[in-house]
């Protein structure tokens, strides 16, 4: 029985369910079914982790054996259908094993990005109450904190005792589960103080996997996946699409342009896009030459603002750009076909994908629904505020449609900064910075950045006679609060007062315009 309260799930009209099933978009296939059939077909396909910390090389079949031994070990410890299994792991083989094992058990997996700090991880574990939690003993600044998971029955730490959870005999088959049941909870930062837990079912996640795979160029080459598997899109690209397609897995646990260039040359791997930062940092690297650029055939961009200057640059280098718009809640809303008209690919966010419906509210807000739309949030209040009785998701994004129905994102209603594909809640950062001595008021806003799309900037109003803190003071305060470094402001401004509405609220859109100079 799932531990996810049914009250959290959004309204799902019977007409939509019937339509999705009749079209074959929703089936009775679970993630375990998808994995079992794909792994049976492609067991000898390569699975490699390119890492200085924990390199690994083997086959799908070898990873599956670890996953099935882990599934047997977890089952012996009482983990089964509907139970929650959380993991905070880098792009390592063990992350795949945990994800696949959870699917075989019919458990609900909760991937957590490996750079989340104690505040975020603690909240996620309290919100989901996992039966099992997996973490790395140490990776970069990440260190295992046993106090965070003191109440979790089963804990496995890679680099310490992970192997002790592996049974001698692998689990055969899979445990039955309803395809409509929750399969995954992905946490994403939003406008609220804490991360939002987005619930996906086997059928929403299965459809997203099939749809995303179908949108990729068939000649895209052997992909290097460096997007964190704790992120929704990184997880799908690393652990589901390759199994569905029978394509090799090549993971990198950090993004290092020099390392990526070396792998492109030695292993003929491709960097296929993601957030614009991946492409721009690669092209800007001093070792990147014409021969390297020739290996970059496509750039699928999304997850953050996509500046036209970047798409124009890529096209000028004969790198075909295609863009996508979506979110953790509704992963694939629109896409520009990889072989579509150049101007559309470069300057719009595409057209609705099969099964997706899209409309604009009177204020321009984008409303969507489709077979890959999530079930709702772990917080029922958030679910009620974002989904209406007809099944439409109110995205909080403002868009425009051209005469041919191509979508362009023009603004966001939600107060979120998207830095290289990672959502930063301005309110969360503001509340921490308000604790600094002498600070009367704080506004955290996004400033344009040519590589990351946006960076966070803190704008301070000081109490009379108080000296403003510098950037180092801000970062020390945020580190003490346990916020991930990706959320830390990278520029600080001091103002006498803020632009305001008649009711006294800060006009952040005016503030952004005033300080909208790219951070160097």
What is the distance between the alpha carbons of residues 123 and 148, in angstroms, rounded to a whole number? Answer: 9
Whether 418 contacts 305, CB under 8 Å: yes
20: tokens are 């999705």
What is the distance between the alpha carbons of residues 452 and 454, in angstroms, rounded to a whole number? Answer: 5
- Strand order across the beta sheet in which 269-270 lies: 56-59, 46-50, 249-252, 222-225, 269-270
469: tokens are 């803190």
Strand partners, 67: none
pLDDT for res 520: 42
Is the alpha carbon torsion for 346, 304, 87, 201 positive or negative?
A: negative
Place of tokens 């009775």: 28
- To 10 degrees, what angle do helices 31-41 and 202-215 make? 40
In the chain, count H helices and then E strands: 17, 28
- State whether residue 111 is helix, strand or coil: strand
Q: What are phi and psi of 216, to 5 degrees?
A: -85, 150
What is the distance between the alpha carbons of residues 416 and 113, in angstroms, rounded to a whole number? Answer: 18
- State whether residue 510 is helix, strand or coil: helix
508: tokens are 């952040």
pLDDT for res 191: 44
> How many residues are there in the chain?
520
| CA-based R_g, the chain, Å | 23
> Which residues, 6 or more positions from 470, have their beta carbon under 8 angstroms from its beta carbon?
492
What is the distance between the alpha carbons of residues 467 and 119, in angstroms, rounded to a whole number? Answer: 29
What is the distance between the alpha carbons of residues 90 and 56, in angstroms, rounded to a whole number? Answer: 13
Whether 53 contacts 253, CB under 8 Å: yes
pLDDT in tens, 416-436: 788 888 878 787 888 889 889
pLDDT in tens, 467-483: 999 999 999 999 999 98
What is the distance between the alpha carbons of residues 491 and 516, in angstroms, rounded to a whole number? Answer: 11
511: tokens are 């503030």
pLDDT for res 518: 47
What is the distance between the alpha carbons of residues 115 and 418, in angstroms, rounded to a whole number? Answer: 16
Burial environment of residue 20 by CB neighbours within 10 A (0 to 12, 13 to 18, 19 or more) = buried
Angle at 227 between CA 285 and CA 248, to 5 degrees: 100
Angle at 88 between CA 51 and CA 488, to 5 degrees: 90
Residue 339 has a CB neighbour count (10 Å cut-off) of 9
Whether 453 contacts 305, CB under 8 Å: yes
Place of tokens 């975020």: 120
The enclosing H or E element of 124 equals helix 118-128
- What is the DSSP secondary-structure string of 356-399? -EEEE-TT-EEEEE-TT---EESSHHHHHHHB-TTS-EEEEEEE
By C-alpha distance, which of 385, 391, 301 is closest to 348?
301
> Which residues, 6 or more positions from 205, have their beta carbon under 8 angstroms from its beta carbon?
31, 183, 184, 236, 240, 372
329: tokens are 């809640």
**Which residues of the chain have a pLDDT value below 70?**
1-8, 189-193, 304-305, 411, 414, 501-505, 517-520
Structural domains for the chain: 6-209 (3.40.50.12780), 222-412 (3.40.50.12780), 416-514 (3.30.300.30)
Whether 32 contacts 177, CB under 8 Å: yes
What is the distance between the alpha carbons of residues 461 and 483, in angstroms, rounded to a whole number? Answer: 22
Q: What are phi and psi of 58, to 5 degrees?
A: -175, -150
pLDDT for res 36: 98
Whether 380 contacts 5, CB under 8 Å: yes
The enclosing H or E element of 84 equals strand 84-88
| Beta strand pairing call for 154-158 and 132-136 | parallel
CA distances, 54 to each of 59, 101, 140 (Å): 16, 20, 12
């Amino acid at each position: 029985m799932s531990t996810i309260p049914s009250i959290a799930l959004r309204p799902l009209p019977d007409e939509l369910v019937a339509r999705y099933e009749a079209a074959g978009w929703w089936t009775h296939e679970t993630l375990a079914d998808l994995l079992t059939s794909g792994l049976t077909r492609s067991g000898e396909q390569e699975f490699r982790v390119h890492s200085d910390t924990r390199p690994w090389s083997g086959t799908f079949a070898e990873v599956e054996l670890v996953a099935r031994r882990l599934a047997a070990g977890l089952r012996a410890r009482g983990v089964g259908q509907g139970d929650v299994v959380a993991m905070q792991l880098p792009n390592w083989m063990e992350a795949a094993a945990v994800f696949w094992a959870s699917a075989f058990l019919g458990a609900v997996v909760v991937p957590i990005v490996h750079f989340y700090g104690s505040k975020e991880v603690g909240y996620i574990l309290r919100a989901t109450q996992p039966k099992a939690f997996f973490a790395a003993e140490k990776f970069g600044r990440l260190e295992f904190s046993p106090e965070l998971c003191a109440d979790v029955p089963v804990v496995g730490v890679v680099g310490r005792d992970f192997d002790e959870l592996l049974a001698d005999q692998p689990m055969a088959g899979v445990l039955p589960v309803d395809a409509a049941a929750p399969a995954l909870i992905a946490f994403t930062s939003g406008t609220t103080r804490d991360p939002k837990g987005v619930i996906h079912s086997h059928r929403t996640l299965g459809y997203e996997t099939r749809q995303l795979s179908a949108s990729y160029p068939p000649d895209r080459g052997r992909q290097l996946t460096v997007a964190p598997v704790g992120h929704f899109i990184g997880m799908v690209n690393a652990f589901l699409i390759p199994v569905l397609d029978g394509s090799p897995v090549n993971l990198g646990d950090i993004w290092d342009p020099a390392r990526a260039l070396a792998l492109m040359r030695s292993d003929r791997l491709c960097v296929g896009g993601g957030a614009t930062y991946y492409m721009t940092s690669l092209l800007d690297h001093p070792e990147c030459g014409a021969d390297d650029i020739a290996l970059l055939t496509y750039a699928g961009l999304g997850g953050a603002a996509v500046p036209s200057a970047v798409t124009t640059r890529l096209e000028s280098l004969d790198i075909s750009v295609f863009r996508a718009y979506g979110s953790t809640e509704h992963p694939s809303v629109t896409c520009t076909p990889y072989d579509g008209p150049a101007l559309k690919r470069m300057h719009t966010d595409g057209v609705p994908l099969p099964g997706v419906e899209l409309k604009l509210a009177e204020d321009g807000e984008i409303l969507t629904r489709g077979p890959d739309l999530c079930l709702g949030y772990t917080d029922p209040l958030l679910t009620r505020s974002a989904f209406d009785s007809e099944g439409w998701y109110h995205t909080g994004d403002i868009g425009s449609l051209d005469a041919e129905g191509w979508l362009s994102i023009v603004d966001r209603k939600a107060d979120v900064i998207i830095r290289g594909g990672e959502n930063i809640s301005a309110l969360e950062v503001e509340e921490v910075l308000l604790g600094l001595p002498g600070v009367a008021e704080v506004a955290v806003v996004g400033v344009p950045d040519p590589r990351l799309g946006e960076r966070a900037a803190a704008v301070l109003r000081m109490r009379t006679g108080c000296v403003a803190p510098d950037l180092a003071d801000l970062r020390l305060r945020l580190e003490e609060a346990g916020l991930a470094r990706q959320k830390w402001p990278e520029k600080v401004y001091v103002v006498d007062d803020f632009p305001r509405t008649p009711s006294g609220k800060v006009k952040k859109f005016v503030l952004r315009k005033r300080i909208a100079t790219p951070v160097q």
